[in-house]
Structure 1
Amino acid sequence: MDLADLKDQQKIIQHLEGQGLQNVIFTNCVKDKNIKQVIPAVTELVRSSYRYHRGENVELCIMVIGVPNVGKSSLINSLRRQHLRKGKATRVGGEPGVTRAVMSRIQVCERPLMFLLDTPGVLAPRIESVETGLKLALCGTVRDHLVGEETLADYLLYTLNRHQLFGYVQHYGLGGACDDVGSVLKHVAVRLGKTQKVKVLTGTGNVNVIQPNYTAAAHDFLRAFRSGLLGPVMLDRDVLQSAPP
């Protein structure tokens, strides 16, 4: 949760509990925040559940599941740092598909003896709406080119402006907030030097025109968002606002 805006934690918990989810822990695997709460919570859940014919087995083996690129591998590495003082045991990356198979079990704690299994990300077989799909794509759950970098950049700009999150204005040195993604990407491309000269045939001959690379600009816009350079963002703020108090 290192990139999310968590001002409304209580609303988030209430919304999740309304969907039948319990034992929510907000963690930050970059700063190892609240990571130490995970092992005791998991241990209590396991010990309070039925474990058929496992009375003699003292070790715990837990499977980590979630959507692609949500931070499953980062969680495992963070737990190892906190409880074993050891480094990375599984690869991480800012794109989906880094973990391609269920990995060998990885020890994350000595007392209790606990192992975790890293798994490939999974998505629901059906996405409830186009906007939900765009939110998931913005979080990097699918490859950008499958949706289109410029399409994602357009939705990101719409979301930032809708929630009055204008960090992109300062980051890219814009004159002010703008809802025209073409103008924003053109400015970003020129600022980053992502332009090229092309010849345009006119009635008086060929003319060299500077053309922005909109795809490269969109890629940088998405990268800045996913790196936290545009500030913390909660993509589901509209969901929380529509929830009953």
Structure 2
Amino acid sequence: MQQIPLSGRNPVFQDTLNVKPHLLILNKMDLADLSNRQRILKKLEKVGMGNVLFTDCLRQRDENIKKLLPMVLQIIENKPRFNREESSDYCLMVIGVPNVGKSSLINSLRRTNLKKGRASRVGGEPGITKAVLTKIQVCERPMMYLLDTPGVLPPKIESVETGMKLALCGTILDHLVGEDIMADYLLYSLNRLGKFSYMEKYDLQAPSDDIHHVLKHIAVKLRKTQRVKAFTGLGNITVTIPNYTAAAYDFIRAFRKGELGQVMLD
């Protein structure tokens, strides 16, 4: 995933990738700030990921998608052990953490190369693909198939910060982390990176590090509030209470849809 090109990789896969022909696809490029693309590429190259392609699978026509299969063929040809002359077709596997667009990639390849509709179910949350599916054709000349696989997280996430990045990008179900905690980390990240589009989005007068202040403002703006009666020494009064959870959800959703600007969390 473009926003977490380093944190979004499962290190358990690394040993397998070192011996198999492989291509790292960084999807959702429309959401990422690519001004530091070269720095990211150098870091990836150091860990053995020299073949990298940036894509946006939701676009009807993505020029980089057209480059994908020729790149795959070239990579395979450079690995004689895996280039079997007697075989006229190819079978590839798509692996990665949840919700990075693996199924969208397959559908995009079918749309580009075969002019056919989607064959793999997609969604905006982790866990849409439940099992390894049958071979899905994505090209006719040469005959090429892909296997869609469920997203797999490492058994142990190396740090809390990596976990928060994964959660913000939707690879972990929100309720397992907590929307309020995720919103707090998102606000911290946006301020650290100097990304203040949230001010315009939610009509804030200035940047803020106080997540409660920001969520209260969002809740009031979106009318995510509840009026309740309170008992005081002066009698009964009506108090407006912000729905902080609903506000946090909208804040996170806006980030995931790119409404807070292009952001690179790594």
3-state SS of paired residue (2:214)? helix
2:148 counterpart letter in structure 1: D
C-alpha contact (below 8 Å) 1:73/1:91 kept by paired residues: yes
Query: Which range is displaced more, 79-88 or 224-233?
Result: 79-88
- The Cα of 1:199 is off from its aligned counterpart by 2.0
The corresponding residue for 2:198 is: 168
Structure 1 residue 36 and structure 2 residue 36: aligned? no
The equivalences for 1:34-183 within 5 A come to 34-49=64-79, 50-51=81-82, 55-183=85-213
- The Cα of 1:123 is off from its aligned counterpart by 1.0
3-state SS of paired residue (1:216)? helix
C-alpha contact (below 8 Å) 1:134/1:155 kept by paired residues: yes
Provide the rounded CA distance (Å) in 2 between the counterparts of 1:55 and 1:85.
Answer: 28
Unaligned runs of 5+ in 2: 1-28
Provide the rounded CA distance (Å) in 2 between the counterparts of 1:59 and 1:192.
Answer: 54
The corresponding residue for 1:192 is: 222
1:17 counterpart letter in structure 2: E
- The Cα of 1:55 is off from its aligned counterpart by 4.2
| TM-score, scaled relative to structure 2 | 0.85
| TM-score, scaled relative to structure 1 | 0.92
Provide the rounded CA distance (Å) in 1 between the counterparts of 2:128 and 2:58.
Answer: 18
How well do the aligned residues superpose, as a CA RMSD in angstroms?
A: 1.3
The corresponding residue for 2:52 is: 24
Structure 1 residue 10 and structure 2 residue 38: aligned? yes
- The Cα of 1:132 is off from its aligned counterpart by 0.7
C-alpha contact (below 8 Å) 1:106/1:116 kept by paired residues: yes
3-state SS of paired residue (1:2)? helix
Provide the rounded CA distance (Å) in 1 between the counterparts of 2:99 and 2:35.
Answer: 23
Unaligned runs of 5+ in 1: 237-245
Matched residue count: 235
C-alpha contact (below 8 Å) 1:2/1:30 kept by paired residues: no
3-state SS of paired residue (2:53)? coil
- The Cα of 1:56 is off from its aligned counterpart by 2.9
Task: Give the one of 224, 228, 241 matched to 2:254.
Answer: 224
- The Cα of 1:39 is off from its aligned counterpart by 0.4
C-alpha contact (below 8 Å) 1:67/1:141 kept by paired residues: yes
The equivalences for 1:193-212 within 5 A come to 193-212=223-242
Provide the rounded CA distance (Å) in 2 between the counterparts of 1:56 and 1:19.
Answer: 33
